[in-house]
Amino acid sequence: MYVLSHARSLKRAPPFRAVYGDWFTDPFVVVEKPAGLVVQSAFPNTPSVESTLQECGFRNVFFPHRLDKYTTGLLCVAFNKTTCSELAKSLMNRQWKKVYTVDCDVPFLRKRSANCDLNDCVRGSMSAHTVGSLWDFETRSLVSTPVQIDSFLARRSLQETKTASLCSHLEALKSAVLENRYEGSVCWCTSLRSRFRNVHPFLPDTMLYESVRKSARGSDNQPPRIASSVFTLKSFDETSATARFEVQLLTGRSHQIRIHSADSGFPIVRDPYYNFDYYSTLYHRINRENLVEETRMGLLASFLAFPHPYTKEIIELHLQP
C-alpha cells in the first residue's frame, strides 16, 4: 500500500470539496468539480482544476479520467504517476462504474401545435445515425425502461479559426442575429447534422462531435469510435417540458452523453453547445458576472465506483442532484 513518508505542505487549502480522501496525506482524492472549469488546459492563462491545485502547492497532479468544462460532479485526482496508472488501468479494464444525473429539455412538447404530429416532431429531432430511442412512438410518451443508445462519434471541423471562450461565442451569435444571418436557422425539427452546418458556423471545431456512419471519417481523418450509453427515465415534468434521466456510460467518449441526449431529441438543459434552442437565446439572458451559474449545464457526475489502487477495496461515492 502506498503511504506518504510525511504530510504535504500546501500554500493554502484547495477550493474544491474532497468527497473522498485527504488532501494532505492520501495518494489520491475524489473532488466535486464545479461547472465552468476545465480539468486540464493547453493554454497557460486558462483556469483549470490542475492549475488551481498547482497554485495551492501540489507539485504533481494527474487525472485518470476527465469531465467536460460545464459538467459538475465526481472527479478523481491522483498525486503521483503510480497511483494514476493503477486507477487508469482499472478504468481501462472496465472496473469503474460511472453514473450521471441528466436534466433534459423536451422541446417538441413546448413547440407542438394543433397541426403538428407529436411523433413526427420527435422523428425530426432525432439523428439518423443513432440507434435507440427514448420515445415510445406507440404510446407517444417517454420510455420508462432502460434504453441503450449507440452511435459512432467523430470530430467534425466547422471552421479554421478557433474562438477562445463562451463570451466570444456569444458575441458571434449576437452579431449573427443582428445581421439576420441566424434568422430561420434554428429549426427544432431538423436533423442534428443540418444544425451543425447551418446554425453553428462560429463554434470551435475542438468542441464539436457528431454521430456518423461507421465508414465515415472525422476532421482529423480518424475513424469514428463506438459510443454506448444507457438512459433510465427517473422523472418527467410536462409543465416545464423537462425530463430527468439516470445515464450509465458503457464507453467514455468526448461529449458522449451530451450528443446522445441531443441525438434523441432531448438536449441537456443549458448545454451551450448541443442544446440549440438554449444557445439561440443565451445572449438575451447572459449575465457576464454570473457566467458560470448561467451556463450551469444539467449534467452531474452523481455516482462513481472503482477499486482502490492499492487495497482493491471497492469505493462507492454518491452526490445528490
Question: Could you report the per-residue pLDDT of 191-209, keeping only the tens digit for each?
Answer: 333 333 334 433 444 456 7
* Segment holding 28, helix H or strand E: strand 28-33
Residue 6 lies in a domain: no
Residue 155 lies in a domain: yes
Q: According to the model, what pLDDT value does residue 245 have? A: 96
For the chain, the straight-line distance linking the first and the last C-alpha, in angstroms and rounded, comes to: 34
How big is the chain by its Cα radius of gyration, in Å?
21
Domain range spanning residue 60?
A: 18-93+306-318
Q: Are 153 and 259 in contact, with CB atoms under 8 Å apart?
A: yes
Non-local (6+) Cβ contacts of 131 within 8 A are 149, 150, 151
Looking up residue 35, the CATH number of its domain turns out to be: 3.30.2350.10
Q: According to the model, what pLDDT value does residue 136 have? A: 86
* Grid cell digits, residue 261: 441526449
Q: What is the spatial distance between Cα 163 and Cα 285, in angstroms, rounded to a whole number?
A: 21
Residue 297 lies in a domain: no
* 43, 110: one domain: no
Q: According to the model, what pLDDT value does residue 104 have? A: 94
Q: What is the spatial distance between Cα 35 and Cα 15, in angstroms, rounded to a whole number?
A: 13
Encode pLDDT of 215-231 as tens digits: 887 777 788 899 999 99
- What are residue 155's phi and psi, to 5 degrees? -75, 140
Number of domains present in the structure of the chain: 2
* 257, 312: one domain: no
Query: What's at 54, amino acid-wise?
Result: Q
Residue 316, Cβ density class (10 Å: 0-12 exposed, 13-18 middle, ≥19 buried): exposed
Average pLDDT per consecutive 10 residues, the chain (321 residues; last block may be shorter): 60 92 93 92 84 92 92 95 95 95 86 67 79 86 90 66 40 47 34 38 52 79 89 90 93 90 89 74 50 71 96 95 86
Predicted model pTM: 0.80
* 184, 314: one domain: no
* 25, 152: one domain: no
